[in-house]
Amino acid sequence: MPGDQLLLVDDDPHLLDLIKGFLEEQGYEVTAADGQQAREALQAREFALALLGLKRPVDAGLRLLSHIKTRSPDTEVILVTDHACLDRAVRAMGLGAYDYVVKSELRLTELQALVSRALERRRLARENRDLAQHVSKARQELTKSRVRELNQVRQIAETLAGPLTWDQLLRGLVKLIWDSLPLQILGLEIAGQEMGLPLEYYRRQPGVPDGSYQTVKDLLRGQLTGDRVKPAAPPGGTPLPEMLWARVTMGNVTLAAGAGRQERFSPEEAKLFRSLINQGKTGIKNLVVFNRIKSMAIRDALTGLYNYGYFREALLHEVKKSHRYKTPLVLLFIDIDDFKLINDSLGHLQGDEVLRHVAALLTEGIRQADLVCRYGGDEFVILLSQTPPEQAEALAERLRRLIAGSVMNPAVPDLKVTVSIGVAGLKPGMGMEDLLKAADDAHYRAKRAGKNRTRGAEGVDLTEEAATDPGESLRRLQ
């Protein structure tokens, strides 16, 4: 669990930094070392878990594994290896390793789930061993109950460890609580500054009055906002005689839960309910980290727009959907005029500012349902689903005028930046490459016509006013 001491051993400094930074974000205390430093660290303290790089010479890694298990049997060991051969894996398991991952197939979220399971096994093993040392015959039933509770907590931890959506997280948590406790009503609400939130999910048994149901919802929303004062006579009616409430916050996300029934809750049931909700905190953290990593993979680092790879996937999806449902689809291909001259005249830092500024204007000028991406270099694309061609053409021209009339940098008032835009609509029989080529060709016709223009796929000039020379202001700055 977060706060545990982890030992990370590998001769690859890049891998050490990557895994160390990720695990520290999860709340673990991580010591990174090579083989020799690892032995010195093991002399100084006990580690809950060791992530051990296993590569040639293989015997050296296995000797370190044997040393760790001999010196500290409770330390769980996960191998990170370039060699996924079965005989080496079996040999390592025989020496006490918990599991292994292949370095070329390493996924950080999967590694975090594996680390959580290994630490949970260590914790359960230590607790069960301590219980076995002190338990008497009269406490055997209590021990069995505790093991069942721990297994339930572990079950929810493993269920929520994967890269879920917010809806899957909430529904999965409700199902696990509902299956673990006899309840008549259960509700969870989650809110925060994350895409897809807020969400709510409720379950109730037949016979629960509507007034009680509505009152539970009202009170739960008060829990979600931090207002924990229960009204004496809420307008929706009276909740069930026995209620449990819980609220956890992770970063900017808050989860609130309420559960009720007619019979009194035992202290063990109340504790289990709170434990299950606290496990939801881990699920929230995992999902926030996963979404952050996913966003980094599909976003352009400079502009924050979706990148080329994401655009290709979205374009293929939208083309198939357009053909299937017979809905219009239009693609805009946008290129900054004389961008090389901007870099040559003002430097690449100013060029980067121009890219960010154009990206912001394009984002502000489209609908929320439209998709704007950085295609590469100084080129952008906008995917307009369910948009008639005439509306798309009007939007393209409006974006061209917006950029041409904007002030890119108040410190350089003479800097005027323009774009050339090509517009193409999807036609029967066209594939994604055909649509992309049509929009690209239209954009080149706009360039050849003098730049700062908007052209349709049929060669029609959509520019509503005389275009100025986009390079004139740049040449004055040279």
* In the predicted structure, residue 426 carries a pLDDT above the cut 80: yes
What digits encode the pLDDT tens for the residues 1-48?
A: 667 889 998 878 888 888 888 898 888 999 888 877 888 888 888 899
- pLDDT single digits (tens) 271-330: 889 888 887 877 787 777 666 666 666 788 899 898 998 899 889 999 999 999 999 999
- Separation between Cα atoms, residue 11 and residue 13, nearest integer Å: 6
Report yes or no on 467 lying in a domain: yes
Domain containing 368 equals 308-477
Q: What is the CATH number of the domain that holds 249?
A: 3.30.450
Give the pLDDT band (50/70/90) at residue 382: very high
**Does a structural domain hold residue 303?**
no
Let me know whether 286 and 333 are in one domain.
no
Tell me what pLDDT residue 457 has.
74
What pLDDT score does 311 carry? 92
Could you tell me if residue 327 is inside a domain? Answer: yes
Does residue 206 lie in a domain region?
yes
Quick one: pLDDT at residue 236? 42
Is 204 part of any domain? yes
| Together in a domain, 196 and 87 | no
Comparison of pLDDT for 6 and 414, the residue scoring more: 6
pLDDT band at 55 (very low <50, low <70, confident <90, very high): low
Rounded to an integer, what distance in angstroms lies between the CA atom of residue 441 and that of residue 420?
Answer: 11
pLDDT at res. 235: 41
CATH code: domain of residue 123: 3.40.50.2300
- pLDDT tens digits, 188-234: 998 887 767 788 999 999 988 888 888 889 888 887 776 554 433 34
Q: Which of 276, 297, 318 is the last residue of a domain?
A: 297
Quote the CA–CA distance of 457 and 460 in Å, as a whole number. 7
Do 151 and 51 have their domain in common? no
Domain boundary among the residues 102, 132, 162 is at 132
124 and 147 belong to one structural domain: no
Of the candidate ranges 167-171, 269-273, 436-440, 474-478, the one whose mean pLDDT is the lowest: 474-478
Quote the pLDDT of residue 135: 55
Question: Domain check: are 161 and 128 in the same one?
Answer: no
**Claim to verify: residue 212 and residue 249 sit in the same structural domain:** yes
Residues 199, 172 contacting (CB under 8 angstroms): no
Is residue 107 domain-shared with residue 248, that is, in the same domain? no
Q: In the beta sheet, which residues pair with residue 455?
A: 422, 461
**What is the tally of structural domains in the chain?**
3
Inter-CA distances, 174 with 286, 386, 401, Å: 18, 37, 51
pLDDT at res. 380: 97
Give residue for tokens 């410190």: 411
- The mean per-residue pLDDT over the stretch 138-146 comes to 57
For residues 359 and 456, membership in a common domain is answered with yes
Query: Are 359 and 472 within one domain?
Result: yes
Backbone angles phi, psi at 398, to 5 degrees: -65, -40
In angstroms, how far is CA 365 from the centroid of its own chain? 26
